[in-house]
A and B are shown apart, each in its own frame.
Chain A
């Protein structure tokens, strides 16, 4: 496939990585999925530029970067509001934008959540590793040389398929409000939830936790009410799934996120439902979070509901 040097990195921001929906079918080798921490923002960004949903974009964390475009492209900025500008003019999130050769996109620091995404028509092309372009930051696997971007990096993009005058879109604001509502994070009971007393479980779901500084894409460490299992039995190391909330001996929950260890030995009290994982990706250090238990059936219903919201015919409207 023909590649186009589409984007030069002038400054990288705090941590900017190439991410797609994630690397699956590799857990038996100890490889967790990585991928966009806010998978909904990446997916909507790809929709806005006419890409298939598995195209890679750039994930920026807390502070964004500056990028110079080397060819005309349709782009979209999604996720949290990082005060983006093109040639010093503020530009909106959640809509198709066109840039011309030589224009500079600057993405500042966050005014809302943890992560902001840049999707580019044709997708960021870094070559797939084990079927994915995602960067697994902690193990330096995949993405652009297994690392966060640096000033001077030049990124290739795939070819453009749509004519330059194809229609532009905006994501409906009511859809965004339902996707990013501020309610409790919904969880289902974890594999070892019966290791905890009913009062410990209700303490977990009624307490407010604060995201600790040492959180990252591997896991979010939560400060707040300590939850202690009923027994001090040891768990035989077993598989851990994305979103599991495990309780280490100190009683402060750890939420396993996109770069989680594939197996673990701490009891799991709960698991974040798939339909709320993207909201975890927008939590910053010191943000407050609460949990609410739902059934597995409700969780799958909520995921199906989210999927219907994400259909282009539903979530996109023509740009003015």
Chain B
């Protein structure tokens, strides 16, 4: 599977140029206003911007909001904070949940007092900077856009007023950003879907979506790493195994990766699937 994965693009200048182009095209999701509790808000040192903002999320967690809504700039802040949480770990940390514009961190309050843990998070934010140190990986994911593997292919094509072939080309043309993994093991939340492919989710989610299903949910596209219930529209399937708990890391895609889908015919899907790509 090496020919399809882990293709590194190490030219950071090239990356910045691509990002520049993308940022110009990017529009912040207008429905993405988040509320916050003034009373419980622990405003950061800067009085100019309300971000980053640390808020108590439960007796054993804090959340750091790095900004509002879904944007690549927020994503880069989340990624920097996540990497700092890993490189300067706290003994009390239990789990780190990165998302679009926030990072939730749970901790054991018997190991580190909540006030101290908050100071730890604050010290990380003081050092988080705004430099992206690691260039993103570009991962190529082969996808078979064949109706036998994609029960919603026709619906999405009709919705976009495209032929099924044109839909596959359109879906495989951009480079998608993995904002974070969440919901279920290894599930990548990917942004960058062309506007014309945006499709509402199913009214009633399916009880079982096969592993490897590539799907569209609203403005996002994703891949179901394991067989699970799901309400997104399935337009293809990849023979790659996205999640394998015996691997380290267990997820093929990581937060911050750029993903390019490569359309493959059904016979190649079968060959790759049999050859143990999954």
Contact = CB atoms under 8 A, between A and B. Distances in A.
B110 interface: yes
A30 B59 contact: no
B33 A233 contact: yes
B61 A236 contact: no
A266 to B, nearest CB: 13
Given A239-B103, A261-B184, A190 B245 contact: no
Contact of B110 (A189, A235, A262, A303): A303
A142 B58 CA distance: 27
A303 B183 contact: no
Contact of B250 (A29, A261, A299): A29
Contact of B63 (A30, A193, A238, A262): A238
Contacts of B40: 189
B69 interface: yes
Contacts of B34: 233, 235-236
Given A194-B36, A231-B35, A30 B245 contact: no
Given A30-B187, A139-B184, A141-B245, A194 B35 contact: yes
Contacts of A319: none
A124 interface: no
Interface string B204-242: 000000000000000000000010100000000000000
B114 to A, nearest CB: 6
A234 B32 contact: yes
Pick the most buried of B59, B97, B114, B183: most chain A CB atoms within 10 A of its CB.
Answer: B59
B58 A237 contact: no
A273 B58 CA distance: 7
B214 to A, nearest CB: 17
Contacts of A28: 82, 95-98, 180-181, 255
Given A238-B102, A239-B63, A263-B180, A274 B95 contact: no
A241 B181 contact: no
Interface of B is mostly: loop
Given A240-B97, A261-B184, A307-B110, A193 B37 contact: yes
Pick the most buried of A26, A142, A241, A274: most chain B CB atoms within 10 A of its CB.
Answer: A241
A33 B97 CA distance: 12
A234 B31 contact: yes
Nearest to A306: B110
B189 interface: yes
B263 interface: no
B170 to A, nearest CB: 25
B101 interface: yes
20 contacts: A28-B97, A29-B249, A29-B250, A31-B185, A31-B250, A136-B185, A139-B184, A140-B226, A191-B57, A236-B69, A236-B101, A237-B182, A238-B63, A241-B104, A242-B60, A263-B182, A274-B59, A274-B60, A296-B58, A303-B110
10 tightest A-B CB contacts, nearest first: A239-B104, A239-B97, A263-B182, A299-B59, A271-B58, A27-B95, A194-B37, A241-B61, A238-B99, A30-B181
